[in-house]
A and B are shown apart, each in its own frame.
Chain A
């Protein structure tokens, strides 16, 4: 198709009838401390990966709660697991475990769908 320079705005509505909450419930069950996140942004401010590329743990939290598994899958790959976020978190959330759980669960539900 010829490119006229126009873009189509992506559909951003979340249809809760289509909502896939398995990932969210898995992560929150295995790491309940993530429920206490204040979205203060301390983790993002200190993040080593965020120095090099746009990477935001609060964004991860949001995508997880919205069920945006596709976005989450590419986003979660950026974490280097250095652990700084865990030390600055005022709630003592085990963020590294959250990252690993999301990675593992995405893979688990992907293989189930296939």
Chain B
């Protein structure tokens, strides 16, 4: 078989990247837990693999999620990924068709126009040659868009892009060169051997009329091969590792593997799957406070480069706004929490004092009410809940009326899972001793941890928005629609954190006129008060809050409703717009025709109820 020396940069690069990927992916897979490994074994020959193949096609090749974000951005990614994939596949078919064999070495297919210096004689050959030109044109349009995106990323719906490092620049430059060089090399060969199609043939003729092509044929093929080889060699140190690793991620995710509470093979796979596209930068509210280096994309980069500092790791609200936007579907919050666990695992507290029995003994009850630490700073919510329980005639035990341990969620948010476990055990013992069937919680932070981390079978955990809706459905609450234009602010831990978007809205619909805003539900703003961030300064929190408030004010609401004491407390300091918890709104409806004490009167007037 005829060979030529220019194939070597490509071949060496391909061998290097293939062996590198085999080794590193095997290391990651072997470091998975035993349960995860058995998940793979049991799922590999099931429908899950087919679903994974489908997802790889839709996401890795067609980039459906990026299309949803912006069509131009989606087209650019699709033309490069899907186009390159087609170029490889059709190139191989062309080679198999010509040599009438499937055992054609890769370089013969990749450099086909060089090795076959004659125009296609068969019809199938002609069709394949024309397809190759169409595909190349398709990719080149994407490359042109990629050049243009560097100049003007706004056209692609992106306000900000990530900063690149040396490895990324090498890989990016070689990627940008691959396809123009391929086009040049094909055209030059077509100019000499007349083996091109509708694109390469006329371009080859033009080149031939300008310069003698014989002398530059080998150099342009050399350049093409070198750009491919360089791209493969730079892949492990660049963000383009996401191309092969994302495929592995999609398969493992379909097999039911998720990020655990410790750093392992799967969290490494997630980190390497980040394409550093920077779509998460646009949704991050930290930029409203001019904090620009702690976003998920940078944290994942630092994890990969092993130079993550606490200052960056803990400077995040864990609001989760970036997560629905991630085109790779990475578990960004969980990855950060895993790192936080690792960073703080050596100093978890043991809370020995909880064993001293200073807390009250649990009475027997059906319903427990747990207000939460934050709710104790907004006494009007507690007052409203007490009144609602009275009106609905519910017998309940107010568990944290005084002297109760924290739920443990604030500790978990900063990675102190060991310490949180002690609080959980303590509270769990008290809850179980009461024999309750229902736990009503006023704080979404507590709600999330009670729901997910307390093993209480037989006890239903409800946020008070769900509970109030239930009471209303049972006609145990007076309904009294007030002529107020209200925006509902989704708390992060309740909305994105626990998926409760509709219950508070259904409830509010009965009491006020709810208006919808652009950034709500999944893309709702964080109030800026999140306990997950221990590094942010108060003035930075205020900047984040004010920016969110500005958007709400543009709809000219008469009241801001929320379902979280921390959100309420944060927004209440912002300006004169009244901010109320949904429990307070129900309380107002109950008391509409009742005479109140002066303090309550003031509270109502501030809320523009006008009694």
Q: Which residues of A are at the interface with B, using a C-beta cutoff of 8 A?
A: 30, 33, 46, 48, 51-53, 77-84, 87-88, 92, 94, 96-97, 100, 103-104, 106-107
A5 to nearest B CB, angstroms? Answer: 26
Contacts A53-B358, A104-B344, A107-B346 given; does A80 touch B410 at CB 8 Å: yes
Q: Which residues of B are at the interface with A, using a C-beta cutoff of 8 A?
A: 310-311, 314, 344, 346-347, 349-351, 353-354, 356, 358-359, 373-374, 376-377, 402-406, 410-411, 414, 416, 419, 423, 529, 531, 534-539, 566, 569
Contacts A48-B406, A94-B534, A97-B534 given; does A77 touch B351 at CB 8 Å: yes
A79 to nearest B CB, angstroms? Answer: 7
Question: What 20 new A-B contacts, CB under 8 Å, besides A48-B404, A94-B534?
Answer: A30-B311, A33-B537, A46-B376, A51-B404, A52-B354, A77-B351, A79-B349, A80-B410, A81-B410, A81-B411, A81-B414, A82-B374, A82-B406, A82-B410, A83-B410, A92-B538, A97-B534, A97-B535, A100-B314, A104-B344
B101 to nearest A CB, angstroms? Answer: 64
B residues less than 8 Å from A97 (CB atoms):
314, 534-535
B residues less than 8 Å from A81 (CB atoms):
406, 410-411, 414, 416, 419, 531
Closest chain B residue, CB of each to CB of A102: B347
Instruction: Determine the distance from Cα of A82 to Cα of B532 in the docked complex, in whole angstroms.
Output: 11
Contacts A83-B410, A103-B347, A107-B346 given; does A52 touch B405 at CB 8 Å: yes
Instruction: Determine the distance from Cα of A51 to Cα of B401 in the docked complex, in whole angstroms.
Output: 11
A residues less than 8 Å from B536 (CB atoms):
94
A residues less than 8 Å from B411 (CB atoms):
80-81
Closest chain B residue, CB of each to CB of A47: B373
Ordered by A's residue number, 9 sampled pairs between the chains whose C-beta atoms are within 8 Å are A33-B537, A33-B538, A80-B423, A81-B416, A82-B410, A87-B529, A92-B537, A92-B538, A97-B314
Structural contact, A84 and B347, CB atoms closer than 8 A: no
Structural contact, B347 and A51, CB atoms closer than 8 A: no
B residues less than 8 Å from A94 (CB atoms):
534-538
Instruction: Determine the distance from Cα of A88 to Cα of B359 in the docked complex, in whole angstroms.
Output: 24
Contacts A51-B404, A97-B535, A100-B414 given; does A84 touch B351 at CB 8 Å: no
Determine chain A's interface SS by DSSP, over half rule: helix
Number of inter-chain CB pairs below 8 Å: 87
Closest chain A residue, CB of each to CB of B346: A107
Structural contact, A77 and B350, CB atoms closer than 8 A: yes
Instruction: Determine the distance from Cα of A94 to Cα of B344 in the docked complex, in whole angstroms.
Output: 18
Closest chain A residue, CB of each to CB of B529: A87
Structural contact, B403 and A51, CB atoms closer than 8 A: yes
Contacts A48-B406, A52-B403, A53-B358 given; does A80 touch B377 at CB 8 Å: no
Contacts A52-B358, A92-B537, A100-B414 given; does A83 touch B349 at CB 8 Å: no
B residues less than 8 Å from A52 (CB atoms):
353-354, 358-359, 403, 405
Option from B346, B347, B356, B531 in Cβ contact (under 8 Å) with A53:
B356
Instruction: Determine the distance from Cα of A96 to Cα of B413 in the docked complex, in whole angstroms.
Output: 12
Structural contact, A80 and B535, CB atoms closer than 8 A: no
Instruction: Determine the distance from Cα of A87 to Cα of B349 in the docked complex, in whole angstroms.
Output: 23
Option from B347, B358, B566 in Cβ contact (under 8 Å) with A104:
B347
Structural contact, B535 and A78, CB atoms closer than 8 A: no
Structural contact, B405 and A84, CB atoms closer than 8 A: no
Closest chain B residue, CB of each to CB of A96: B534
B residues less than 8 Å from A100 (CB atoms):
314, 344, 414, 534
A residues less than 8 Å from B349 (CB atoms):
77-79
Structural contact, B356 and A82, CB atoms closer than 8 A: no
A52 to nearest B CB, angstroms? Answer: 5
B residues less than 8 Å from A80 (CB atoms):
351, 405-406, 410-411, 423
Most buried by A among B347, B351, B353, B419: B347
**Nearest 8 Cβ contacts at the A-B interface:** A92-B538, A53-B353, A80-B406, A82-B373, A82-B406, A77-B349, A103-B347, A97-B534
Structural contact, B346 and A48, CB atoms closer than 8 A: no
Option from A33, A77, A88, A107 in Cβ contact (under 8 Å) with B377:
A88
Instruction: Determine the distance from Cα of A51 to Cα of B373 in the docked complex, in whole angstroms.
Output: 12
Closest chain A residue, CB of each to CB of B403: A51
Closest chain B residue, CB of each to CB of A111: B346
A residues less than 8 Å from B359 (CB atoms):
52
Instruction: Determine the distance from Cα of A43 to Cα of B419 in the docked complex, in whole angstroms.
Output: 21
Instruction: Determine the distance from Cα of A84 to Cα of B374 in the docked complex, in whole angstroms.
Output: 6
Structural contact, A84 and B353, CB atoms closer than 8 A: no
Instruction: Determine the distance from Cα of A103 to Cα of B419 in the docked complex, in whole angstroms.
Output: 13
Structural contact, B351 and A96, CB atoms closer than 8 A: no
A38 to nearest B CB, angstroms? Answer: 15
B401 to nearest A CB, angstroms? Answer: 11
Instruction: Determine the distance from Cα of A104 to Cα of B311 in the docked complex, in whole angstroms.
Output: 13
Contacts A84-B377, A100-B534 given; does A78 touch B353 at CB 8 Å: yes
Instruction: Determine the distance from Cα of A53 to Cα of B347 in the docked complex, in whole angstroms.
Output: 20
Most buried by B among A30, A82, A84, A94: A82
Structural contact, A51 and B402, CB atoms closer than 8 A: yes
B412 to nearest A CB, angstroms? Answer: 10
Instruction: Determine the distance from Cα of A56 to Cα of B472 in the docked complex, in whole angstroms.
Output: 43
Instruction: Determine the distance from Cα of A53 to Cα of B538 in the docked complex, in whole angstroms.
Output: 28
B residues less than 8 Å from A96 (CB atoms):
410, 414, 531, 534
A residues less than 8 Å from B376 (CB atoms):
46, 84
A61 to nearest B CB, angstroms? Answer: 18
Closest chain B residue, CB of each to CB of A80: B406
B residues less than 8 Å from A106 (CB atoms):
347
A residues less than 8 Å from B377 (CB atoms):
46, 84, 87-88
B344 to nearest A CB, angstroms? Answer: 7
Structural contact, A78 and B351, CB atoms closer than 8 A: yes
B309 to nearest A CB, angstroms? Answer: 11
Instruction: Determine the distance from Cα of A78 to Cα of B406 in the docked complex, in whole angstroms.
Output: 12
Most buried by B among A30, A51, A52: A52
Instruction: Determine the distance from Cα of A77 to Cα of B406 in the docked complex, in whole angstroms.
Output: 14
Structural contact, B537 and A48, CB atoms closer than 8 A: no
Contacts A46-B377, A104-B344 given; does A83 touch B531 at CB 8 Å: yes
Closest chain B residue, CB of each to CB of A73: B347
